[in-house]
Amino acid sequence: MERQKTIIKRQGEFFGYPKCCVKAFLRRVSGKKTKDKQLQVARAGFIPCAKHADKILKGETILENVIENRMCSIPFTSNKVSIYNIEFKKSERFKEWLKMVEEEEKIVIKL
Ligand SMILES: [Zn+2]
């Protein structure tokens, strides 16, 4: 489970998802229910945390602006952004990221 959490956190970094949203995702993995407002603003596989969902619904920001320092070279809304997509797996950034995480975390990630 710890290993899985580490991979999820690192994947969140790769996609530029804020730490709070990644934490919210981890709570959902552990069984916490997703709020309707979160689902309302979710797109392209990214479900922001409740705080960010509020901001988006109030018009203070947009989903794209919640994403910062994205390492992934494929745009957020592309349907190619999936670890199951061959083109995605072949992207240089993804391969770099995979190598970096495996070295830093001393793990092997099988996808
Ligand atoms: Zn958030």
CA of 17 to the centre of ligand 1 (A): 8
CA of 93 to the centre of ligand 1 (A): 24
Residue in 1, 101, 44 with CA at minimum distance from that of residue 111: 101
Q: Where are the domains of the chain?
A: 2-105
Q: Please report the pLDDT score of residue 86 as a whole number.
A: 80
Q: Please report the pLDDT score of residue 11 as a whole number.
A: 92
Query: pTM, whole model, 2 decimals?
Result: 0.88
CA of 7 to the centre of ligand 1 (A): 18
End-to-end CA distance of the chain: 17
For 27-65, what is each residue's pLDDT tens digit?
999 999 999 999 999 998 899 999 999 999 999 999 999
How deeply is 8 buried, as exposed, middle or buried, from its count of CB atoms within 10 A (0-12, 13-18, 19+)? middle
Task: Evaluate if residue 80 carries a pLDDT over 90.
Answer: no
Residue in the block written with tokens 């959902």: 28
Please say whether the beta carbons of 53 and 41 come within 8 A: yes
